[in-house]
Amino acid sequence: MGHKVADELVRQLLVAGVKRFYGVPGDAIDLVVDAVRKTGATFVQVRHEEGGALAASAEAKLTGGPGVCLGTSGPGSIHLLNGLYDAKLDGAPVIAITGQVPTAKMWSNFFQEVNLNRLFDDVAIYNAQLVNPQETPYVVARAVREAVTRKGVSHINVPEDVLRMDAVPREVTVKVPETRYTFAQREVIADIEISARPVIIIGKGAQGLGEEVLSLARKIGAPIVHALNAKGVVPDYVPQAFGGLGMSGTRAAREALSRADLLIMMGTSFPFVEFLPDVKTIQVDVEPWKFGLRAPVVQPVLCDVETFLKEVTPSVKEKKEKFYDELQNVKRSWMEELTALEKQGTKVRPGALAKALSEEVPEVPVVVDTGNVTVWVNRHFRVKNPRRFLFSSWLGTTGFGVPGGLGAAFASNSQVLSVVGDGGFVMTMQEVLTARKYGVPVKVVIFNNSSFGMVKEQQQEAGLQPFGVELDNPDFVELGRSFNVPSRRVEEASELTDALRWLRQEKGPAILEVVLDPRDVPPKVS
């Protein structure tokens, strides 16, 4: 057999630290799948390539990547696109390996011939077609380097016959030097010291730096507000935490921002400018092109959040008057509002469900789908100790929850909570079968309100009649059982705690459907 291009391609990816390959086999990609099999690495046979790409994206969000997904020529690779866009928009390093018809048939309108390089041009940072066997190590190493350092998607398309050609194993050791940042400390510190009401917004760049962010916040009296992808960085129970920002955020965060005289944006380019105050802004980011993206930034700081905090926190003068103290009544009244929404009748209330998840399923990563379910979790899921949440935060794709849970469970080698709406669940529910096949403990909680709840509200707000939003759902428990996955339904509030304990104790994947009142919608904070 010898060492072929497919073998070298897989070998290079394994050398780069790739742990598994998500995909559906077939046609042009079979040689890559076979090369994975021969190495003993994990090939995760998903049921839809979108699920594979979303799982790879979730894995990359959790670990820094790269996640890898595979697609065959034509249709299989077209299916990858939504997951790849999720990775692109959330800056998750993902590599897509796609097959192509043999070179002898290319450009002849052959069966399944799709110009995948053209199709992936917008989604991929690095978009290559491998035609020369000798180039294999370099092309793969570059795909890894580009995905990881530029935080996005690399795509390598390979014609089937090229995969069969002989290749020479070759080490490509490219050490990417670590970037060190410096900035005008004195100016930044002066801006902070003269402000009376600074507010900190954290985003993805503050991931894992909860304690450090809190130290600065305590010293300068700043309330901390999080963009969706920084949920869980800072615990909710400290006086500095004001919750989420934006449509799924809190009234307390809105109020804090409306009174701010200085904004410190750390590792975020939060897109909804209507939520941002028109005040002096210090923006900390490692991507120069992001400065001023949202506001005319006064003080751009080209720096990673960790270095920024290390340099600023010890040097800045402690403020006697803490702005977050002034706002505690605002925070208290928001918490009362949340608590009122969590008051159970006989039926489960969605806010109470999100809160119960935080209490009954501690310590595991939480993957959240897109819909009102995002809002319930962002507001009502109380973070005690910092923990990871994964969202499709920038693409906002419905259907992220189950495949995202699959990728997160593989990557963390632990249980994962996948919180999904009934609409989002059905979009990608086939990946429950994948979780079962590999015994991966994805614990799915379905917020079943029999509708595309968020869309229904958007239609109403726009003065439209709700249309196309009611869902004729299957019996989720029967469905789950037919997947051979333990499944339960909760209809009464009194059953919830017990059901969540059951969910947590199941060894493999499990489904808990919770029946909700479709009229129970999250309040607007604007």
Give me the amino acid identity at 146. E
Strand partners for 21:
43, 68
Of 157 and 392, nearer to ligand TPP (C-beta) is: 392
Residues 454-483 that bind ligand TPP (CB under 6 A): 454-455
Q: Which does 31 bind (CB under 5 to 8 A by kind): ligand TPP, Mg ion, none?
A: none
Cα 125 to chain centroid, rounded: 19
Helix H or strand E encompassing 124: strand 124-129
Structure tokens given for 123: 């989604």
Strand ranges (E), 161-219: 198-202
Q: Which does 455 bind (CB under 5 to 8 A by kind): ligand TPP, Mg ion, none?
A: ligand TPP
CB 159 within 8 A of CB 192: no
Provide, rounded to whole angstroms, the least separation between the CB of residue 454 and Mg ion. Answer: 8
Provide, rounded to whole angstroms, the least separation between the CB of residue 380 and Mg ion. Answer: 16
Cα(284)–Cα(261) distance, integer angstroms: 17
Chain position whose Cβ is nearest to Mg ion: 421
Reduced to 3 states (helix: H, G, I; strand: E, B; else coil), residue 58 is helix
Q: Is 397 in the site for ligand TPP (CB under 6 A)?
A: yes
Number of residues that bind ligand TPP (CB under 6 A): 20
Provide, rounded to whole angstroms, the least separation between the CB of residue 251 and ligand TPP. Answer: 20
Cα(224)–Cα(275) distance, integer angstroms: 14
Q: Is 127 in the site for Mg ion (CB under 5 A)?
A: no
Q: Which does 210 bind (CB under 5 to 8 A by kind): ligand TPP, Mg ion, none?
A: none
In whole angstroms, how far apart are CA 280 and each of 218, 260, 291, 323? 20, 9, 13, 16
Cα(67)–Cα(356) distance, integer angstroms: 32
Q: Is 393 in the site for ligand TPP (CB under 6 A)?
A: no
Cα 194 to chain centroid, rounded: 36
Q: Is 51 in the site for ligand TPP (CB under 6 A)?
A: no
Q: Is 491 exposed, middle or buried (0-12, 13-18, 19+ CB in 10 A)?
A: middle
Of 405 and 421, nearer to Mg ion (C-beta) is: 421
The single residue among 100, 154, 248, 370 that binds ligand TPP, judged by CB under 6 A, is 370
Q: Is 421 in the site for Mg ion (CB under 5 A)?
A: yes
Q: Is 369 in the site for Mg ion (CB under 5 A)?
A: no
Helix H or strand E encompassing 244: strand 241-244
H helices of 313-452, where?
Answer: 323-326, 328-341, 350-360, 372-380, 401-412, 422-428, 431-438
Provide, rounded to whole angstroms, the least separation between the CB of residue 496 and Mg ion. Answer: 18
The single residue among 52, 198, 405, 424 that binds ligand TPP, judged by CB under 6 A, is 424
Residue 282's closest CA among 206, 200, 215?
A: 200
The single residue among 64, 133, 396, 508 that binds ligand TPP, judged by CB under 6 A, is 396
Of 301 and 429, nearer to ligand TPP (C-beta) is: 429
Residues 270-309 that bind ligand TPP (CB under 6 A): none
Q: Is 453 in the site for Mg ion (CB under 5 A)?
A: yes
Q: Is 449 in the site for Mg ion (CB under 5 A)?
A: yes
Instruction: By CB under 6 A, name the binding residues for ligand TPP.
Output: 369-373, 396-399, 421-424, 447, 449, 451-455
Residues that bind Mg ion (CB under 5 A): 421-423, 449, 453
